[in-house]
Chain A
Amino acid sequence: MDNEMALSFIAISENEGLARMVMTSFIASLDPTIDELAEFKTIVSEAVTNAIIHGYEEDAQGIVTIRAKRNGRQITMTISDEGKGIQNVEQAMEPLFTSKPESERSGMGFTIMESFSDHLSVWSEPQKGTAITFTKEFQPIQSKIVMGER
């Protein structure tokens, strides 16, 4: 059965955990493996954190929106903000590049999101905002072998 959802929240770091929790519930019926779930949560966390700290500088006013669809065993999700946007998307996606070295950002967010998703695209325009869309395919549930029961 397919499903669709949207979630919006203000740009404060506390909501990174909220986003992970809601999205974990959204994919629960797919019965993901521990690793699939961990990778999915990591993608959500990276994208939402980017929106909160880069898009809005944690201003507690800007709105971050997550829209997600479940289609069979595939999840498509867009995390968007109407914040300051990314000047140079190509540069932002390079491993270890960060515009905030002083706050110990590792610059690994995009690399991790790309590695853990099946497809990722980024739209951004300075002063208009950023939207990151990714898809992740979940493996079919292994048939469960029941032993010693009748």
Chain B
Amino acid sequence: MNHQLLFVEDGIAIIRLRGELDHHATQTIREEISQSLYRGTLRAIIWNLQELHFMDSAGIGLILGRMRDFVPSNGQTVILHPSETMKKIFQYSGLGSYVWDTSEEETIAALGGILNGQ
């Protein structure tokens, strides 16, 4: 689909979502993301929504689902660049505190990783 998944050294995954994230889109995206994520040992997922033009509660389901998978390994979740409307949706859903006001690079640095070749 329209997203891009990158692995940063030291167990950090960056998911750059693009286009529109609704129930229809999550049906394919979920499968792809889950398969890729289970391949490595992860300690953090960064969701970069800069190029995401639309998201409804299906996006909440997608992110919460991946967080649930990470509980055993104490994985961390960070959400970057949501639109104002998406920010409200995260707040209503109790995910407001996962939204960081940093760039991708700053986030990776704060999590203690190195972004190669970017």
Question: Could you tell me which A residues sit within 8 Å of B by CB distance?
Answer: 13-14, 16-17, 20, 34-35, 38-39, 41-42, 45-46, 49, 52-53, 95-96, 103-109, 111-112, 115-116
Contact of B57 among A13, A41, A108 (CB under 8 A): A108
Alpha-carbon distance between A89 and B64 when the two chains are bound, in angstroms: 24
Decide if B92 touches A95 in the complex (CB within 8 Å). yes
Q: Is the CB of A46 within 8 A of B92?
A: no
Docked Cα-Cα span, A95 to B57, in Å, equals: 12
Q: How far, in Å, is B29 (CB) from chain A's closest CB?
A: 11
Closest to A45 in B: B56
Chain B stretch 6-53: residues in CB contact (< 8 A) with chain A: 20, 22-24, 26-27, 30
Contact check, B57 vs A106: say whether CB atoms are below 8 A apart.
yes
Main secondary structure on A side of the interface with B: helix
Q: If the complex has contacts A14-B24, A112-B89, are A41 and B54 also in contact, measured as CB distance less than 8 A?
A: yes
Decide yes or no whether B76 CB sits under 8 A from chain A.
Answer: no
Task: With CB as the reference atom, state the residue of chain A lying closest to B68.
Answer: A104
Q: Does B96 contact A (CB under 8 A)?
A: no
* B84 A49 Cβ-Cβ under 8 A: no
Beyond A13-B24, A16-B24, is A106–B88 a contact (Cβ under 8 Å)? no
Candidates B22, B60, B83, B88; contact of A16 at CB < 8 Å: B22
Complex-state Cα separation, A120 to B60, whole angstroms: 22
The B contact surface, by secondary structure, is: helix
Q: Does B24 lie within 8 Å of A17, measured CB to CB?
A: yes
Find chain B residues with CB under 8 A from A95 CB. Answer: 92
Closest chain B residue to A110 by CB distance? B57
When C-beta atoms are compared, the residue in chain A nearest to B93 turns out to be: A108
In the complex where A42-B85, A45-B56 touch, is A108 in contact with B20 (Cβ < 8 A)? no
Mask, B53-91, CB within 8 Å of A = 1, is 010111011101100000000000000000111101100
Residues on B with C-beta less than 8 A from A17 are 20, 22, 24
A135–B68 Cα gap in the complex (Å)? 35
Q: Which residues of B contact A111 (CB under 8 A)?
A: 92
Residues from chain A with a CB closer than 8 A to the CB of B27 are: 13
| 19 A/B residue pairs, CB under 8 Å, sorted by A | A20-B20, A20-B22, A20-B54, A34-B84, A35-B84, A38-B86, A41-B54, A42-B89, A49-B56, A49-B58, A103-B61, A104-B62, A105-B57, A105-B58, A106-B58, A106-B64, A107-B57, A109-B56, A111-B92
